[in-house]
Structure formats: structure tokens, C-alpha cells
Chains A and B, each alone.
Chain A
Amino acid sequence: MSTIDILNPEYETERPVEVHMTARLAPVEPMVVTVIDNSKPHAKELLTYIAEGLGERFPVADVIVHSKSIASKPIDADEAEMLAARSHLVISGLGD
């Protein structure tokens, strides 16, 4: 039975480092929630609805909507830092 040597066509990575979930924090009062609207139709409405729903369960003082300029590009590092500094919880998701 003849054999053939071939090369793997897929992306290959080093062995992944084991990653653990960040420790869960108790809700901070008053909690500021930021939602990242990906700027597609209805994304802002959907994510705001979810954030406001959290207010019924947790002490949410404020919900901030941060709209990206376009859906296809991620927020940059400065934007991420700014959002982290002013929020206790950030929710991102896809509206499409």
C-alpha cells in the first residue's frame, strides 16, 4: 500500500496557553453599563434594551451607548481604554 506525504494547509498555532475565566466581581453601586452599538440597523435598540433589562436585576445607575463608526472595524485600543475607565460593565454584540 503506497503512501504520500502532504503538508497541512491550515493555519497552525503553537500549543494554546491555558486561559482561565476572570474572577467574577460583585455588582458595584451605582453600576455604569456601556453598550457598544456596532452601528448596524437596530443594534443600538437591541443592546440598550438588554442593558436596561439588567437594571431590573442589578443597581444600574446609568446606561451609556457607544456607537462605532462602522460595523466592520473593531474599536481601537484607546477607545477600549476609555470605555473601561468609565464603565463597570461593557456589553458588545452584533446587530444585523
Chain B
Amino acid sequence: MAESLTFTESDVQEEFFTRGWTDGLPVVPPTPERVDAMLAFAGVNAEEVVGTVPERSRDITAEKAAINAVMAGCETQHFPVVLAALTAMCDPAFGCHTAVTSTGGSALCVAVSGPDLEALGFNTTRNALGPGYRANATVGRTMRLVAMNVLGARSDKLDGSSIGHPGKYTMLIAEEKPPEGWDPLRVDLGYDETDTTVTVLATEGPHQVSNQLNATPEGVLATFVAAMTNPATYGVGKGHQVLLVLGYEHRRILVENGWTRQAIREHLAEETRVTPAYLEAAGIVMEHTKQNDMTPDADGKLATVRSPDDIFLITAGSAGAGWSAYIPTWAPTVHSVAATKKVQPPSGGLP
């Protein structure tokens, strides 16, 4: 059981700052009552292990997850989403140890897909990646607080980020129901339409994609290809994964012109193949290491994504002029791949 401490109420925020227990913002004090309420809602015991990061010999217990969720400002109804996201983060394929250590500085980006996210309080439309929504902000923030407090991912310990980015405070995207004819992300990933899932990716910050005047699907996709082949993004030509947030106008243009999600993924996977000369013109040096051999394929090109399945499509955002977002993972798939878990119902226990 977690150590219990008694602070003077007026000093509690300063105590948390002084002990290095926050992300630099104030927190909700994790009283035993608040923590117990989190655990009770999810139907988990304090000592149950949510996940393990073996390279650090550290388990994340349900109690520590709940303490950090309270601190982040989570409502109890969102704790099952937190538990699913933390379980995904501890999937060995996700490579949590590296993701929260690397100089590249990645966010623990959570993509939520479910049939009734609005009822759960998630914002899926205006400001989909922006501020103002408690569920989006606090579930994402919990991920970082757990990484900092339980896994030691802090600047004075094991977080080696050279620059970092604001998505490291919190980064969550909740899926708006896709337009008629398209499946949601969770169905793409093999889950049922009635399931709620979380997919965790270690990512750079979001890159906004603007195309406001071209109403053709080819034009919209060409702009995505341009965003996805920026040589300054580490994974370009090295085989990483990407999350594409398809905004209102862009997804309508695509679906109304008969583009399926699979066709979009296949098109983008092919069109984002780049030549070494293209990267070299931007000053990029070809790597020929054991982990990262940038020898081109038979067509003289390098894959930016090795498979269409490495492109995750999610619909979100409100009507505007024509905005979407491109969110690349911070490193090639040899280091980390996205992990998905199903969210349990209230009292449903661990995923």
C-alpha cells in the first residue's frame, strides 16, 4: 500500500512541487478517499498490477495509477480508460522504457475510439486536440504523471528528451463518429463496433495539415503526403507509424468520392516512399546501422511506413476551412509500435 503522508492543507501544492511530483502544474491532492473511489469504480484492488516495465524493474499498480489519476484531475468514470491506456503502454511491443527515455522526446498519445464517447465526456469535435475538456485533458495527463512518478521519467532522472513538446503534458484524441460508409478506428483494428478502445502511440507533437481550397480527394491526399514526407521528421524513410486526424472537410471530400479507409492507407503508404536523394537534399545522412539500414528497395526508394497498417486513421474536429492533423511516432517501428486495449465497463476490473 502507498505511503500515507500528512501535510498542512495550505502547503499541499508546494509540497508536491518541492518533491517533484507534478508536471509543473498544480494537482488535485490524492486523498485516500479519492483514490479509493477510483479503484472502486473500476472494480480493481489497490495491489493489482496494471503493467510492468521490465527494463526498470517496475510495476504499475492500480493504486499508483489511481493516485496519479486523482492528481491529474480525472473523474472516476474515466479511470477504466486510464487503466486500458496504461496496460497498452506496458505492452512489450510499445517499448515504454525507450519511449519515455529517448532524446527524441515523445508524447504518450492516446487515441480513444468508442460508440458513445460524448456521453463519457470526451470532446471529439471543435478543438479536438486543444484545451477545455476535462476528460481529454486529464486522461492524457495521467499517462505522463504515471511515467514521471512511477517510472522515473523526469528530466532529473530517466527522461532524456532534448527538446520535448507540449504533448508531453497531455495528448489525447477522441474519435468522432466517422461519416456514413466508414468504420471507426476500433473496427479497423479488429475490435467490435460496440467496444471502446484506446490506442497508445509514442509520438511527436501534432502537425496541422491545411488544405482549404482543393475539393478533390487527390489534392487533399497530396497535401497529406507532403506533410508525411517532411525530411525533418525522424521516421521519414525509416519505417515509422503515423496517426492521421481527418478533419471535417477532408474526410467528407474523401468519403463522398468513394475513397475507403484501406484505399487511403494504401495510397499514402505508396506515395510517401522517398528516395535517398530527396532526403540528402535536406541534409539528411543515410544510416546504415544494424538497427536502421537505409538501403533503398528495388524501386530506389525507402518506406516511410512499411505497411498501410502503420497508418492509423481517426476522424475528429469540427467544420472549419479545411484542417486535419498528422501525428508521427517519434521513432521507427523497430523501437516502438502502437498498442491497443479494450476499455472495461465500470466494475469490470483490469483490461
Physical interaction between A and B:
yes
Which residues of A are in contact with B by a Cβ distance under 8 Å?
Answer: 1-12, 37, 39-41, 67-74, 96
- Which of the 9-residue segments B27-35, B249-257, B307-315 touches chain A? B27-35
Chain B residues 170 to 216 lying within 8 A of chain A, measured CB to CB, are none
List 27 A–B pairs whose Cβ atoms lie within 8 Å, in order of A's numbering: A1-B8, A1-B9, A2-B8, A2-B9, A4-B12, A6-B5, A6-B6, A6-B7, A6-B29, A7-B3, A7-B4, A8-B3, A8-B4, A8-B67, A9-B64, A9-B67, A11-B58, A37-B290, A39-B292, A41-B287, A41-B289, A68-B291, A69-B334, A70-B334, A71-B291, A73-B98, A74-B55
DSSP class of A's interface residues: helix, strand, loop or mixed?
loop
Q: Are A4 and B7 in contact (CB under 8 A)?
A: yes
Q: Are A6 and B12 in contact (CB under 8 A)?
A: yes
Given contacts A8-B4, A72-B331, 7 further A-B contacts (CB under 8 A): A4-B29, A6-B31, A7-B30, A8-B67, A9-B67, A40-B291, A72-B95
Q: Are A3 and B150 in contact (CB under 8 A)?
A: no
Closest to B69 in A: A9
- Residues of chain B within 8 A (CB-CB) of A12 are 2-3
- Residues of chain B within 8 A (CB-CB) of A39 are 289-292
Closest to A74 in B: B55
- Name the 7 nearest CB pairs between A and B, nearest first: A72-B98, A8-B3, A70-B291, A7-B2, A39-B291, A39-B290, A9-B149
Which residues of B are in contact with A by a Cβ distance under 8 Å?
Answer: 2-10, 12, 21, 29-32, 35, 55, 58, 63-64, 67-68, 71, 95, 97-98, 102-103, 145, 149-152, 287, 289-292, 331, 334-336
- Residue of A11, A73, A96 near B151 (CB, 8 A) is A11
Tell me the bound Cα distance from A96 to B102 in angstroms: 10
- Residues of chain A within 8 A (CB-CB) of B63 are 7
Tell me the bound Cα distance from A6 to B151 in angstroms: 20
Q: Are B2 and A67 in contact (CB under 8 A)?
A: no
Within the complex, what minimum Cβ distance (angstroms) separates B89 from chain A? 15
Tell me the bound Cα distance from A72 to B3 in angstroms: 33
Closest to A96 in B: B103
- Residues of chain A within 8 A (CB-CB) of B58 are 11
Do A11 and B31 contact each other (CB < 8 Å), given the known contacts A4-B7, A68-B290, A72-B95?
no
Q: Are B9 and A3 in contact (CB under 8 A)?
A: yes
